Each structure stands twice: as C-alpha cells, then as structure tokens.
Structure 1
Amino acid sequence: MKHSHNTAILVFANSAQTELSRKPMPKGELLFTGLTQDTLKKVQATGIPYFHISETQQKGTSFGARFTNAIQEVFESGFENIITIGNDTPQLKTAHILKAHAAIQAGKTVLGPSLDGGFYLMGIHKSNFDRDSFKNLPWQRFNLFQRISALLVQTDSTVHQLPILNDIDSFYDVKRLASFRKSISSTVLRLLALVLRLGQEFQTILISFLSAVLLQRPHNKGSPLLLHS
C-alpha cells in the first residue's frame, strides 16, 4: 500500500513499565506491551511512515509539553501532516487511520473523540499547529476534545470527526471494553480477559479479608449509662 510521503503517523506511547505506574492493574505490563504491539501492527499496515516516541525520547515536564514537542519534532523532520495516536484504544483500526489520512489529503483536520472527553486520534497540517496554543490545552481532562475542537476551528480548519471510541485509563475501562468483542483483536481480548479475571479474584480476596477483620473486631455496645441523682 503506497501513500504520498507528506504525512507521518506519530505513535505517542510510553513503555509498559511507565504505563503501569500510571494505570496500575493486574498483569498491566503484559497488557500495555500487547496494546503497543497491536497498535504498531495496525500502523504498519497503512504503509504510512511513522514515529514511535516513548518516554525515552520525550522532552518536557508536563504531558502537554511532551506531546506538543513530539509533534513539532515530526514536523521538523520534513512532514506537512501528522496523524497522532496513542496505544490505549484497542478499538482503533487500520481503517480509522486510513480515513484520517484521506481526510487530511482533502485539506481537513481530523479528530477521533474518546468516551472520556479526550481524543484517541488527531490529524493536523503544519499550518494548523501552534506549539504554545496546543501546550496550554487542558490535557488529560474531560473537556479536552471540546477545547481542541474550538482551537482548530479558530485556525479555519474543517474538522472531520471519527467515531467515538473507548480508551483504557483504569481497570473499570478494561471491564467495559471486554464486552466489545467484535471491535477488538483476539490477542488484545485475551489480555483484557486475563486482567479482568485476576482483578476480580483480587477484589474477591480483598472483600473476604475485610469481612473477616470486621467479624473479629469486638462489638462496641457503647459506654455505660451514667445515672445522676
């Protein structure tokens, strides 16, 4: 599959160890490794040049600074358009990336909204990117999609919106995503099932332990009533 080389994909994804420190869950390192491998496989299937920038290459003291600096770095490599994605949206497919690429080639910007109010994909042209404006957006907050949409409109962009997808930020997200069997690869589904099973076992053990502790605690019937003459 061949494409013009004015567009690159930026996979902005940390190592499994770093992801686990931010999103603790049973077998999380195995899950995040699998998610990154699954994402890169889908990216490679597009035939579009890509960069995978993890925490070892990122520059900046905040998420916003690190992300915008990574975008700037790709633009400075000679590309006119960038499609940015992470590794935490297992419902993302190669087709979503190709649709974003087609929209960019048609002169549009692209956003793929996440259920939590952020976005899982952004496709922008160099002329629509201002590093300072992007760095000051409310990154990792629920109103990010709304704010970045407004910013792109200010640059006279026509925004093409992709379907809303779920991403993984917590064990609760794993429970929700495990039911989306038709939209997730079998490899990732097996990892989600493993995390879910171990997490539920841990919760059962914790509940049993707390119940036992409470049952052993002496019951306080209250202080004796003082009688006054």
Structure 2
Amino acid sequence: MARVIHQKTAILLFANSGKEELKHKPVENGAGLFDELTKYTLGEVEKTGLPFFHLTEKHQKGDSFGERFAHAIQAIFDKGYDSIITLGNDTPHLHFSHIQEAHAQLKSKKLVLGPSVDGGFYLMGIHRSQFHAVSFANLPWQTSKLFKAIIDWADIGEEELTRLQPLIDLDQLHDVRNLLSRFRTFPKAVLRLLVQIIYRRVQKYGFVPTSIDSHFLHIPFNKGSPALFAVGIR
C-alpha cells in the first residue's frame, strides 16, 4: 500500500556526525559540540510537529557538497512532499519559530531563506516547482557568495522571497566569539561546550587566540578555575 502524505511540507536536517564535521570545520575538540548542536536542532524541529528526515554522511550520495545536498532534497521530494525546509546543525540561535515562519511562507510557494552572517544561509524553504537538482548542485557552496547566488539561481523577485532573521553559524574558531556574545539566548549544554573549547585552548597554548578576547568573554582563564562559572553555568 502506498504511503499517504498528510503534511505537504517536510524538514530536512542535512547534518553530519560530529566526527565528520571536524574534517571540514577547524574547531578543535569540537566533535561533542556538533553532536550537541544536532541534538538541540532536532529538538527544535520536533516542536514544529512537521515530518522530518535527518541525513548524515551515512545516507548522503555524491562527490561534492552540492551534489550531496541536491540529492538529499530530491530524495525528500520523491517521497511526495511539495515543500522542504532544509537546516544544518551549526546555528545555536535557531528557534522553532524560524521553522514555523518558513512553513507559513511556503504555503504561498515563496522561497524562504534564513541568511547567515558569513554569506550563506542556515535555513532554506523551497517548493518542488522551484527546485532543479543539477543547477542547484553547481551553486558556490560553502562560500560567501552563496546567498546572492541562490537568489539569482531561483530567478525570483523580492515579492517572491522571504528573508528570515540573520543568524550566526559555527564554521571555525573565530565564530565562537560572536556566538558567546549572545550566550544567554541558547542552551546551556551548547554554551558549556563552546566555553570548554576556549578553555582547553588556553590551557594548551597558554594564551587566548587573537580572534578571542578574554576581556570580551569575561572568563577567568586561571588554571583550576573553570570558565563555566564565569558565565553562570554549573
């Protein structure tokens, strides 16, 4: 018996394991962090009540990031859904309300993009009529040109595009500074791991990396003084 699709929109979490993420994102000791971010993101996804699929490196097909991402999206469309909301696992300020807003806008067949500050996006909502796998795979993925390129690729006007709140994603160590500046707005488990990464680096090298200002973080990096207490994490 064929599966009956009651929801027209599905969520795709396109996120690798923490171990795999470290091959592409130079965040020292970050495997646990990315796994915790995946757990957090799945929690926000579940709050929406929408059907969702989590595709890790074990389920992806293709030689390049673009090919793997395009194949994953097409695989969800092939299940019978009309629209897909795609997410990664590297945006700790993502809230289920962002996903709900995307879902609402997709009912009008709008392209929905949540821009990240590095020129990419942390969320994309797309209707099957807008998706063309081959050209999608050839976009300038993992570059600062991506956000503009995907709008050009979709060939739409501003009235057909919904832009969500810009958020910071985590690709490398210097992103930690920007994330920690807003530490009160995301889960303690994620914050704990972010601070531990910096604390271990200070213990290892004896100084704070130039991209991280200890005064800015307000963290007492003395031996035996866990940085977690400085930001109220117990």
Normalising to structure 1: TM-score of the pair? 0.84
Query: Residue in 2 aligned with 1:113?
Result: 115
Query: Residue in 1 aligned with 2:171?
Result: 169
Deviations for 1:145-171, whole angstroms, at most 9, x for unmatched residues? 000011223499701000111001101
CA distance in 2, matches of 1:200, 1:74: 44
SS of aligned partner of 2:13? strand
Task: For 1:51, give the aligned amino acid.
Answer: F
Normalising to structure 2: TM-score of the pair? 0.83
Determine whether 1:185 maps to 2:187. Answer: yes
Query: Residue in 1 aligned with 2:230?
Result: none
CA distance in 2, matches of 1:64, 1:90: 23
Determine whether 1:144 maps to 2:146. Answer: yes
Task: For 1:125, give the aligned amino acid.
Answer: H
SS of aligned partner of 1:11? strand
CA distance in 2, matches of 1:205, 1:163: 35
SS of aligned partner of 1:27? coil
Query: Residue in 2 aligned with 1:75?
Result: 77
Contact 1:30 1:191 (C-alpha < 8 Å) held by counterparts:
yes
For residue 199 of structure 1, report the CA deviation from its aligned partner: 2.0
For the pair shown, the structure with the greater C-alpha radius of gyration is: 1
Correspondence list, 1:2-41, <5 A: 5-41=7-43
Query: Residue in 2 aligned with 1:212?
Result: none
For residue 126 of structure 1, report the CA deviation from its aligned partner: 0.2
Q: Structure 1 unaligned runs (5+)? A: 208-229
Aligned residues: 205
Q: RMSD across aligned C-alpha pairs, in angstroms?
A: 2.0
Task: For 1:13, give the aligned amino acid.
Answer: A
Query: Residue in 1 aligned with 2:50?
Result: 48
Query: Residue in 2 aligned with 1:223?
Result: none
CA distance in 2, matches of 1:41, 1:63: 25
Task: For 2:184, give the aligned amino acid.
Answer: K
CA distance in 2, matches of 1:89, 1:148: 19
SS of aligned partner of 1:122? strand
Contact 1:153 1:159 (C-alpha < 8 Å) held by counterparts:
no
CA distance in 2, matches of 1:30, 1:7: 30
Contact 2:114 2:165 (C-alpha < 8 Å) held by counterparts:
yes
Q: Which one is further off, 51-60 or 178-187? A: 178-187
Identity among equivalent positions (%) equals 46
For residue 33 of structure 1, report the CA deviation from its aligned partner: 0.9
Query: Residue in 1 aligned with 2:136?
Result: 134
For residue 70 of structure 1, report the CA deviation from its aligned partner: 0.3
- Structure with bigger helix share is 1
Q: Structure 2 unaligned runs (5+)? A: 1-5, 210-234
CA distance in 2, matches of 1:87, 1:65: 19
Correspondence list, 1:202-213, <5 A: 202-204=204-206
